[in-house]
Chain A
Amino acid sequence: MEFAEFYESARDDCLQIVLLSVGDRQLAEDLVAEGFAKAWVSWRKLRNYQAPRAFVVRAALNANVSRWRRHRREVGLDGHDVAVPAADSGVLSGELLAALRGLPLRQREVVTLRLLLDLDTETTARLLGIAPGTVGVHLHRAAETLRSALPHMARQEARK
């Protein structure tokens, strides 16, 4: 598959998945663009990859962490001029999504790869460079957090 073909087929899917995680339309687009740019650089190797979309999404999520670290340092220099979301940024809401965004990066990666990109445990483990059992542990913990954020699930828990 050529990169252009891959980009055309995967761009919207990757954007929607990353948007769920970061909540800001403009930021998500920028992060996904960064992910695709990295995929372009490694395309010769990546074209035979089992899940190139997973590479892009993971690169985008990691870029978000790097960006946050950079921003934190800048704010530390001087307290004013804190960024605010643009009015038309299309910020998503909802307790589930807030809980998803609050997950540690590794758990968010596992949830994204396993539940949104529908990869199996083995492939997810290989992609993240961790043991399959560790994938299971992260997924279990993340699911615990996320299901408590679902209103009807929370009600069921309360009745127990």
Chain B
Amino acid sequence: MNDDSALGTVRDSLTAAKDNLSETHMDTPLDAIVQRGRETRRRRRLTGVTGAMAVTAGAALAVTTLVPSGQSSSTSGRVASHAPRARLAAWTVDIRANGDITVNVRQLSDPSGLQSTLRADGVPANVTALGHPDPSCQPYPMSQALFTSVYRADKTAASGDTVLIINPAALPSGAGVQIGATVGQDVAGRGLRRADANQAIHRAVHQPAHQVGARNSILRAVLVYASQQCTGS
């Protein structure tokens, strides 16, 4: 058998295999693709200006660290600056100029504080202790594409910490976020080592709970149906 004939056979076999998938359709809506494209473009622009921003970021960090814990460094609604809106003992919640919500984990405690803060920022949210599911919450069916359009992990330019980023604009109508953490168990009351916190967020985003069991996780993120009982709205 010559090369062309062998190539033809391989081509025919692959084409037949593809034809078997003719009933497989892409479910992701155009809006989700466009949203993801906007994020990609924003990330590229951010990367492009990182060098120019370094000095400014350093100055901003110096100012931020002077703000005592428990105080908000901004009192406006949707924040024009990138200063944290809520500084909690366990979590720092911040709103970025594009509307993304960032959650910085320092200690896996105070889930109700995090829940209140997220809801106050307009995110239908439910925060629970892992292993203690809220019976009023029902899982929202999600594809990987939907999951990654809502949740992602990002390394902050200033501290190098990994933060959990929630994109409320990508939430489908009727859906809310649910974050579970191992609180009240072995890590309760203890601060997290920086590497552990970064790893927990990476795991929650890159090995989402709908794909792997949460048995060994200390942080998980899923989507749930929004309701007054579950997510507050």
Residues of A at the B interface (CB closer than 8 Å) are 3-4, 7-8, 11-12, 14-17, 19-20, 25-27, 29-30, 32-34, 36-41, 70-71, 74, 77-78, 80-86, 90, 92, 94, 96-97, 100, 111, 115-116, 139-140, 143-144, 146-147, 150, 153, 156
Counting residue pairs across A and B whose Cβ atoms lie within 8 Å, the total is 132
Q: Does B227 sit at the interface, judged by CB under 8 A?
A: no
Category for how many chain B residues contact A? 35 or more
Instruction: Flag if A12 contacts B211 (CB, 8 Å).
Output: no
Beta-carbon contact of B13 and A29 below 8 Å: no
> A40 near B34 (CB under 8 angstroms)?
yes
Q: Is the interface of A mostly helix, strand, loop or mixed?
A: helix
On whether the beta carbons of A86 and B36 are closer than 8 Å, the reply is: no
A-B residue pairs, 9 tightest by C-beta: A40-B37, A37-B36, A30-B144, A11-B26, A37-B37, A16-B21, A33-B145, A15-B26, A115-B11
Given contacts A29-B143, A80-B216, A140-B3, contact A37 B33 (CB under 8 A): yes
Given the known interface contacts A30-B145, A41-B37, A86-B211, the answer about A139 and B7 at a Cβ–Cβ threshold of 8 Å is yes
Helix, strand, loop or mixed for chain B's interface?
A: helix
| Chain B residues near A14 (CB-CB < 8 A) | 26
What's the nearest-Cβ distance from chain A to residue B152, in Å?
12
- Contact residue among B17, B33, B211 (Cβ-Cβ distance under 8 Å from A97): B17
- Of the candidate stretches B104-112, B113-121, B198-206, the one touching chain A is B198-206
Given contacts A7-B33, A36-B33, A84-B211, contact A150 B9 (CB under 8 A): yes
Q: Within 8 Å CB of A139, what residues of B?
A: 7
Evaluate contact between B21 and A83: CB separation under 8 angstroms.
no
Measured in the bound complex, the distance between the Cα atoms of B144 and A90 in whole Å is: 14
Residues on B with beta carbons closer than 8 Å to the beta carbon of A25: 24
B217 contact set on A, CB distance < 8 A: 81
